[in-house]
Amino acid sequence: MRLTFALVGAVALAGVTTAASARDYISIAGSSTVLPFATIVAEQLGNNPSFKTPVVESGG
């Protein structure tokens, strides 16, 4: 259940990115309103050894 929640959240966050560049990590920047949710999703994704923990930043 937790993995499903994390994957759904990661896919949802990945769908709202506007620009992409080649890198070996995920960077999430957005509103402080969604920061707690994005942080939880990033931590869950980081628990998977296949992925690096995403970088989460608040834009305001």
At 2-48, the pLDDT tens digits run: 788 777 777 776 666 555 566 778 888 888 888 888 888 888 888 98
Residue 52 lies in a domain: yes
Please give the tally of structural domains in the chain: 1
Report pLDDT for 1: 74
Residue 39 lies in a domain: yes
In sequence order, which residues have a C-beta less than 8 Å from that of residue 54 and are 6 or more positions away?
A: 10, 25, 26, 27, 28, 41, 42, 45, 46
Report pLDDT for 23: 72
Q: Give pTM, 2 decimals.
A: 0.54
Residue 54 lies in a domain: yes
Residue 22 lies in a domain: no
Residue 43 lies in a domain: yes
Q: Which domain holds residue 39?
A: 2-15+27-58
Retrieve residue 20's tokens.
């992409």
Residue 42 lies in a domain: yes
SS3 (DSSP) at 28:
strand
Residue 20 lies in a domain: no
